């Protein structure tokens, strides 16, 4: 296994994170491959842009902010929740139609406010509720049953699987159930980078291009105000990217450069610094503030998490 990041405390390497990285050059050729980028994996929420593109291809029509929320792993802030509710209302549905698990807001301040108000978890606060709302709206658009929209055999999920395979340029390695209850489509890390590259080069008016434009224009709707992944994307002009659970992060630029990163232990902190290091190497100064994450001792910074990639 390849080491892609390390944790340094007081000058000593305390631990290492193993993982895989793939970088594509503007032509789509592999520029850097670390670890096992061609091995089948679960992209988790990094699959969401591909799934949203599939829904727009099926006829779903949304304005850019709602496309962003449909693609989001959101923090449950008011700007997210109101747009999820708006998406459902436009489809003639309420939040009771959602089949994602109930959750508290992912944003700590919002969660505290909700607790102080004596309120508990709701489905609309679950980070994938935008995707679920878009899936329901797509079923309404196509006249498909909504009660079974999460079934892998449902026409919606079959179509989305076909879209993911097409964009990745490879057959699906498998279908599993994601944390939110929706099907998740397994592809390789290289296939994921290839999919982001293809979407970034799409006509802006096409379904794929609309997803890219919405995510670029509304990165904090796709993530959250206080989240490092959303802040990193917002700091890089023209970046189209999406993080996923278990340490997955993929993205692309409009010139065809693309990347996908995955830590084998699922550590998000290591993935983010690796992505920032790649963007730094491409000359994006906005990534520099994210190239390390603080390691604390007694409340003070005594070290850092940093990338450990070959030069």
CA 57 from chain centre, in angstroms, equals 19
Domain residue spans of the chain: 2-307
- CA–CA gap between residue 40 and residue 228 (Å, rounded): 27
Angle at 95 between CA 92 and CA 100, to 5 degrees: 125
Q: Which CATH number fits domain 2-307: 3.40.710, 3.40.50, 1.10.1060, 3.30.1240?
A: 3.40.710
Residue 246's H or E segment, with its range, is none
What's 250's DSSP letter?
A: E
- Residues of the chain with pLDDT below 50 are none
Nearest Cα to 268, choosing from 290, 250, 246, 287? 246
Q: pTM for the whole thing?
A: 0.96
Mind listing the pLDDT tens digit for each residue in 15-69? Answer: 999 999 999 999 999 999 999 999 999 999 999 999 999 999 999 999 999 999 9
Alpha-carbon distance 146 to 139, whole Å? Answer: 6
Q: How far apart are the first and last CA of the chain?
A: 18
Confidence at residue 179, expressed as pLDDT on a 0 to 100 scale: 95
pLDDT of residue 123: 98
The encoded tokens of residue 273 equal: 């610094």
- pLDDT value of residue 1: 78
| DSSP code per residue over 93-113 | --GGG--SPPB--SSHHHHHH
Cα radius of gyration (the chain): 19
């Amino acid at each position: 296994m390849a080491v892609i990041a390390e944790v340094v405390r007081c000058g000593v390497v305390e631990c290492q994170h193993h993982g895989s990285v793939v970088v594509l050059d503007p032509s789509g050729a592999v520029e850097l491959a670390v670890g096992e980028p061609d091995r089948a994996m679960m992209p988790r929420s990094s699959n969401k842009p591909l799934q949203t593109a599939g829904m727009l291809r099926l006829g779903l029509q949304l304005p850019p902010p709602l496309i962003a929320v449909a693609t989001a792993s959101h923090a449950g802030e008011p700007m997210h929740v109101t747009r999820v509710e708006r998406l459902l209302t436009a489809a003639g549905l309420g939040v009771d139609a959602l089949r994602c698990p109930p959750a508290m807001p992912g944003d700590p301040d919002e969660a505290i406010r909700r607790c102080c108000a004596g309120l508990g978890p709701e489905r609309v606060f679950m980070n994938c509720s935008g995707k679920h709302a878009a899936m329901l709206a797509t079923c309404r658009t196509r006249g498909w049953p909504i009660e079974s929209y999460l079934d892998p055999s449902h026409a919606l999920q079959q179509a989305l699987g076909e879209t993911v395979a097409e964009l990745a340029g490879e057959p699906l390695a498998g279908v599993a159930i994601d944390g939110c209850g929706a099907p998740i489509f397994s592809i390789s890390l290289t296939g994921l980078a290839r999919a982001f590259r293809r979407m970034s080069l799409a006509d802006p008016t096409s379904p794929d291009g609309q997803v890219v434009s919405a995510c670029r224009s509304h990165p904090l709707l796709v993530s959250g105000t206080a989240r490092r992944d959303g802040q990193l994307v917002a700091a890089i002009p023209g970046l189209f990217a999406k993080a996923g659970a278990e340490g997955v992060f993929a993205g692309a630029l409009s010139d065809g450069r693309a990347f996908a990163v995955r830590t084998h232990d699922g550590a998000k902190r290591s993935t983010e610094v690796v992505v920032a290091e790649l963007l730094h190497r491409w000359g994006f100064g906005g990534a520099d503030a994210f190239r390390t994450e603080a390691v604390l001792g007694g409340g003070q910074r005594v070290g850092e998490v940093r990338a450990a990639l070959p030069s």
